[in-house]
Structure 1
């Protein structure tokens, strides 16, 4: 089953990375759980998916507030990243998104727009052999306001030299879809792992 694209004449494709290009969300969640267990911090799976698209530092800070903890943000973020990098040999691409990347590469400019660090995004795309497909990477630290704010998508459109209304966004989270809509961009919703299993996309 292929992802259906909305009607329109698009001049650029913008992709989230984790859960959209890379089927990495289960690996990221395992890394989060291991890193946070060292501090006795709970992070339920449903909350992890609900917060998809938020920067790592923002998640750690919010968990500190929720649980009355004082986890050092940088330390936890580095530990989580190290654990994720260790799991990269298990990483695969989302087949339906990969099909669109292969089909449209060379016909449209591509950007990745992610809440993850550039280190994490680069590692994922390199593992999948896809890094050279993308003209622009917009990652955590490249913008001030995270999704659902449209800033990251607008930065990518500006770097590609394409008007926002001519960009098509591929996203797997509610925050990402909301950000694309706020940017004036059409979007394609990529089902999350559990949804793909139910609908037969896996």
Structure 2
């Protein structure tokens, strides 16, 4: 894929721009124990989606009120657990290149604003635009978050590059009509091993 036509970059947070895997998995492990679920079954399913639909999928017997309460409990387990949260390899180099090339960028995350600001702050990253689960009616894999970010940046969806590390996130980007750069060996218009590889493509 030719990245020279990209006019904005929309980045997922957890696992993409920020290395928070340990924190995420600690929270879901604790939550699983509280609900009598095996973390080994839960953890492979939790990355990339907001907590509420994940809770609903894992505990289908819960009503809407119980789902909301359980999802909030899951988020509360994460809020203050940022001791080992850091920027992903290549993240700061990528953001420097975007600034140098004057390419607009945003973070589009399934986290709420409190958690997003805590993790981005721990990683030393301050995005010019942050779209969280609280800004949308439907989270990933729905395209609403990425379309909202593109609209706020004033860039057509087809000129945006979505950078993601999960299948729900990549599905969201594709549904928005955007090109995708996929981490973790997933399938996208670009397959990248890390953000440093995207930096090399952008400056080539």
**TM-score bracket, shorter-length normalisation:** 0.7 to 0.9
User: Per-residue displacement from partner, 1:96-146 (whole Å, max 9, x unpaired)?
Assistant: 333212221252111111111111111111111112xx2211111212222
Question: Contact 1:157–1:167 (CA<8 Å) still a contact in 2?
Answer: yes
Mapped pair 1:166 → 2:159 = yes
| Superposed counterparts of 1:80-159, under 5 Å | 80-105=74-99, 107-131=102-126, 134-159=127-152
Structure 1 counterpart of 2:10: 14
Question: Contact 2:98–2:105 (CA<8 Å) still a contact in 1?
Answer: no
Tell me which of the two structures has the higher relative contact order, counting C-alpha pairs closer than 8 angstroms and 6 or more residues apart.
Answer: 1
User: What is the distance in 1 between the residues matched to 2:167 and 2:137?
Assistant: 19
Displacement, 1:51? 4.1
Mapped pair 1:44 → 2:37 = no
Question: Contact 2:89–2:194 (CA<8 Å) still a contact in 1?
Answer: no
Q: Matched residue of 1:90: which SS?
A: coil
Give the TM-score taking structure 2 as reference length.
Answer: 0.80
Give the TM-score taking structure 1 as reference length.
Answer: 0.80
Displacement, 1:25? 2.1
Provide runs of 4+ in structure 1 moved above 4 Å.
Answer: 68-71
User: What is the distance in 1 between the residues matched to 2:37 and 2:62?
Assistant: 8
Structure 2 counterpart of 1:33: 29
Unmatched 5+ residue regions in structure 1? 193-198
User: What is the distance in 1 between the residues matched to 2:119 and 2:144?
Assistant: 23
Size of the aligned set, in residue pairs, is 186
- Judge which range, 143-152 or 13-22, deviates more: 143-152
Unmatched 5+ residue regions in structure 2? 186-192, 196-204
RMSD of aligned C-alpha atoms? 2.5
User: Per-residue displacement from partner, 1:138-176 (whole Å, max 9, x unpaired)?
Assistant: 111212222222221111100111111111111001121
User: What is the distance in 2 between the residues matched to 1:75 and 1:182?
Assistant: 29
Match of 1:61 among 43, 56, 59: 56
User: What is the distance in 1 between the residues matched to 2:85 and 2:194?
Assistant: 20
Structure 2 counterpart of 1:196: none
Q: 1:6 to 1:32 in 2, by over 3 A?
A: farther
Structure 2 counterpart of 1:195: none
